[in-house]
Structure 1
Amino acid sequence: MTDTPETDGRHPADVVTTMIEACLARAATWPAWDGVPRPVDDRVYTPHKAVRRITDHLIDHLAEIEARLAGVPTIPDHWHASAITTAADLAPFTAEDLDEARSRLSRLAQLYELRLRAAGPAALDRRDGDAWSPRQIAFHLEGSLYYADALGFLR
């Protein structure tokens, strides 16, 4: 892996749960989305695509952390990531979609909270070769706010 994430004194569980809370704060305004995808860098984003990317990123790295802590090889992900925009990504974002996103992301936040708090400092900082440690992965996940910021707070 490249670009090793910087870490600081925050607990990695706090880093992930705070990021998810920030994403959900933005998502709370997305039922106001006008249906026009937002260009950011070389991609476009919609509320559904942002939620999909945040969720996929969290699932991918949770699987990596679990495998690493269990001492087994990780399974590489094969997500299309933000390189594609699906028909489902273009659908209106309703109050029901927001409720689904809250449920999904809140449960993932709890999984990270439980897993990262249960791991001791040695496990959080253990690296396998050039791979990031679970602590570094958590700090990398903070960057998932990028997907929510692609839409930001809508009126």
Structure 2
Amino acid sequence: MLRLAFARAVQRVSAQRAPVVTPARSLKSHRRKKLNRTSAHRIAMLRNMVTSLIKHERIRTTTPKAKTLRPYAERLVTYAKKSDQRHGMNLAARIVREQGALRKLFEVIGPRYATRNGGYTRVLHLMQRRRGDAAPMSVIEFVDRDGELRVPKPPR
């Protein structure tokens, strides 16, 4: 008897709710490229690459790696711009491997982009391919700095 009453109560509640319509697939995919590496290798590689990018402000790598690296670099610059420096530094220290690069991120790169809302890096595709395996190569660099590969256009 108690089960029957509970089942009827559940039916009443479910009948009152509007049906939830879910799309067949998500509009924005949150999958990451695996780059033919294990997760630990991929994370270590991206941490090394983002540290090198901060130190040298431009690195040459394959196009898929550059495209995968870009969101991580953008997020670190956003951490460096925030007013709560301590929390941002703790978050960035989990990714950046060297203290010198971390210091440069917060003392040089963060203030440089204080007025810019995103788009701190640029991926430029190179015409040459890598000699050994003909992989497409790219340069990822920070924008608005001395020695850029692409000269910025004047504002309209």
Q: With structure 1 as the length reference, what TM-score do the two structures score?
A: 0.30
When Rg is computed on C-alpha atoms for both structures, the one with the higher figure is: 2
Bigger proportion of residues as helix? 1
Bigger proportion of residues as strand? 2
